[in-house]
Structure 1
Amino acid sequence: MKVHLRKKKLKTGKLSLYIEFYKGTQTLNTGKIKHLRDYEYLQLYLIENPKSTAEKMKNQEQLELAKQILAIRKAEVYQGRYNIQNDKKGKLGLLDFYEQKKEERYQSKGNYDNWDAAQKHIEAYCPTHITLNDVDVKFIKGFKKHLDTVAVTKSQKKLSQNTKHTYFNKFKACLNAAFEEGYLKENYIKKVKGFSMGESKREYLTADELQKLASTTCTLPLLKRAFLFSALTGIRWSDVNKMKWSEVRDEGMDSENTPIFRIVFQQKKTDGVEYLYISKQARDFLGERRGKDDKVFKGLRYSAHMNMQLLRWCMHAGINKHITFHSARHTNAVLLLENGADIYTVSKRLGHREIRTTAIYAKIIDKKMKEAANLIPKLDLKMD
């Protein structure tokens, strides 16, 4: 689109300044060519034949103001305003643009991984010749349908509700950026409703169940120590598995003669550094200190055998739940909230970036709800 400053002579003899937005041509059914133009009248006027110095200065002021507005309008057109994108920008391939946006997130490991995972499904749906000019509501709805009915995981299973939600949101973020940067003439993604977030079941152990488990023998003592440590601290399997003794800090006593223990580690999932205080009992599960580069839980490995032993351990303890190692982390969050920890503290201990992630655990807790049912005094009345 071309943008020009124009003048129109009025009956009064003055010249009205306006901006012309030339949008190109359209071929009508009759075969005639129609020129597409829009106009913006600036309410600025010039005297056609100025005579005095004052008139000349007034003309100069009006013209300079009109040129400033013209510069702003040209910038807005370049950024994608007026429902017309820069022609050269629109010819950029969608897959190329997505790749650019993904690489901008390289420093954010978790987010980058999600963008990378979503890209595989976008590439499966989108032909390589598709440009940003080709994107419209129908194309976006087609990708949503692809995620819902065609896309599968590596194990050939349908995508979960939350996975579809995540992948479509990355696609949405890409198209939002395309519009904001002037590659799309219209923000089509706003016209397509995304996937709602599903609530996944978070299996956890009650305090009584955790006690039963602690009192029951496990055929893999190393697994037992690691699981109970995770339940007492909330640390993920990936961080428990890689933990080295250099991350374990025995920091002496506080003013009340209570021993202080901390774990200082970098979360594998988020790359964030955590400074986590742990209880003496949790520290006891780690055993005697060894070399700083030695693994704390040396020999611990993720395997189908280990998962089976974990389930058998639970069964021997009389726990009929599908418990995984990650259930220890869920257990920690629920027990903290049930025993009076505020949600902000729990969020920080778990290393969550957003409080809403921690808020999911609040829905699990029913202990306080049960107590609340009996808070109202019993009524002394007679039924008719």
Structure 2
Amino acid sequence: MKRKEKQRKEPIKIRQKELANGNISLYLDIYWKGEREYDFLNLYLINPKNGIDRDQNNKTMILAEQIKAQRLLDLQTGKYRMKQARTEVSFIEYFKQLMKDRLNSKGNYGNWDSALKHILAFTKGKDLKLVDVDETWLMRIKHYLLHDARTPFQTKLSQNSAHSYFNKIKATLRQAFEEKFINENPAGRIRGIKQAETKREFLTWEEVESITKATCDTKKLKEAFLFSIMTGLRWSDIIKMKWSEVRGSKSAGWYIQFQQQKTKEHEVLPITKEARNLLGEEQEPDQRVFYGLKYSTKTNLALARWLARAGITRYVTFHCARHTHATLLLSQGVDIYVVSKLLGHKTIKTTEIYAKVSNMKKVEAVNKLPKLKFNPL
């Protein structure tokens, strides 16, 4: 009787791990010459809701297969050596890797970069291992962010900045736990830093009319800011918007079909004829609508100078345009749930902040009525 040949085990397998947000993290399970290693690829499958999502997942799997094939070849030729033990993984380097994954999101990447600077200031530039980050260390850096950390101008760090940076640390540990770099997540037992209520700066309609008439040094900046006021789109979505995402016609109406940079959700956003006219003549589908515009100190200064020419001297950021869109809609009586959907908010609580601001302005307006003097009956 012929003996069955023993099937050789595949040294590298692509495995999947479900994350807390519902996405699937892909990693390589490598077993080579008696050693096992898990290599997380920073590739993710999303929950497919349409053909675009399924196509994206297929491309992600093809890329994972290509990485797997190359890794096997490198193992066989000696170009790749098994990594260091899990216990030796650097917290700083792991944090930097997660930061690098956010490179295409300028605002988010900037927050991670700022958080890293404060981590290095706290550790005095010294590295530490992921496994050495415990509850005591977390409590110490939490206290540092709240009481000792300073901005580049040597002012005390705001509570919301401390909240944001501490959340980055907690997110890093949560990801490390999900990817099995650590056996437990110490951040799960540490209360986060409470976010302070912030003032949502916005422009009145009269101010919007003023900036429309004022001259801006950067034409694209003026167009983008006004477009954000008209649509509520974030800077991160405006800066990457391509002509292929501008859909519709004069007769049927116009809309933007896009994927939110922040939430990764696919959205269909109706826009007015005036907003479409602001974009000008249609260009090639792959060309960015606001080509040449980028986040920089020069852009921020141009925004400040433009607003100053319109008589607005208070501190206003580009995100103020989105706040303006929300408060204008609410002041016109648009239902808060409709506003929430237009802004792409996941929960109504976020939109309620704008409603509160809108109500405050109503109170201010009422109090501006002239005082009526009358004799008691």
User: What TM-score bracket applies, with the shorter chain setting the length?
Assistant: 0.5 to 0.7
Q: Give, in angstroms, the shift of residue 229 of structure 1.
A: 1.1
* Aligned residue in 1 for 2:244: 246
Q: Please, which of 363, 368, 383 is the counterpart of residue 362 of structure 2? A: 368
1:341 corresponds in structure 2 to 334
SS in structure 1 at match of 2:279 = coil
Q: Deviations over 1:286-314 (max 9, x none)?
A: 11112212222233333333333322222
Code of the aligned partner of 1:328: A
1:276-355 equivalences under 5 Å are 276-355=269-348
**8 Å Cα contact 2:149-2:157 kept in structure 1:** yes
Q: How much has 1:202 moved relative to structure 2?
A: 2.9
Residue 263 (structure 2) aligns with: 270
Quote the Cα distance in structure 2 between the aligned partners of 1:245 and 1:233. 16
Contact 1:347 1:358 in 2 (8 A): yes
Residue identity matched to 1:280: K
- Retained in 2: the 8 A contact 1:333–1:361? yes
Cα deviations by residue, 1:242-262 (Å, 9 ceiling, x for unpaired)? 222111112453xxxxx4100
1:194 positional shift: 3.9
Match of 2:208 among 199, 204, 210: 210
Counterpart position of 2:376:
382
1:83-131 CA distances to partner (integer Å, 9 max, x unpaired)? xxxxxxxx968967x969x97xx89x98996789757756775786778
Q: Structure 1 residues 187, 236: CA separation in 2 closer, same or farther (over 3 Å shift)?
A: closer
Q: Which one of the candidate residues 227, 230, 234 is aligned to 2:228?
A: 230
Distance 1:336 1:146, change over 3 A: same
Deviation at 1:179, TM superposition (A): 11
- For each residue in 1:252-290, what CA deviation from the matched residue of structure 2 results, as whole angstroms up to 9, or x when unmatched? 53xxxxx41001122233332221100011111011112
C-alpha distance in 2 between matches for 1:307 and 1:173? 30
Distance 1:93 1:131, change over 3 A: farther
- Counterpart contact for 2:89–2:129, Cα < 8 Å: yes
Stretches of structure 1 lacking an aligned partner (at least 5 in a row): 1-90, 254-258
Match of 1:164 among 162, 165, 174: 162
RMSD after superposition: 4.6
Q: Does the C-alpha gap of structure 1 residues 145 and 350 become closer, same or farther in structure 2, counting only changes over 3 Å?
A: same
2: CA distance between counterparts of 1:228 and 1:188? 42
Q: 1:92 to 1:265 in 2, by over 3 A?
A: same
Q: Deviations over 1:348-381 (max 9, x none)?
A: 2222333322222223222433567799xx9987
CA distance in structure 2 between the partners assigned to 1:370 and 1:282 by the alignment: 30
Report 1:134-145 matches (<5 A): 135-136=134-135, 139-145=137-143
Aligned to 2:258, the other structure's residue is in SS state: strand
- How many angstroms apart in 2 are the aligned matches of 1:215 and 1:267? 30
1:122-172 deviation line (CA, Å, top 9, x unaligned): 6775786778698455x4431212223455668887543113223334555
Letter in 2 for 1:199: E
Alpha-carbon spacing, 1:119–1:304, altered in 2? closer, same or farther (3 Å) = closer
- Contact 1:93 1:128 (C-alpha < 8 Å) held by counterparts: no
Aligned identity (percent) is: 43
User: Do the aligned partners of 2:170 and 2:187 also contact (CA within 8 Å) in 1?
Assistant: no
Bigger Cα Rg: 1
Alignment CA distance shift 1:118-1:224 (3 Å) = closer
AA at the equivalent of 2:362: K
Distance 1:355 1:92, change over 3 A: farther
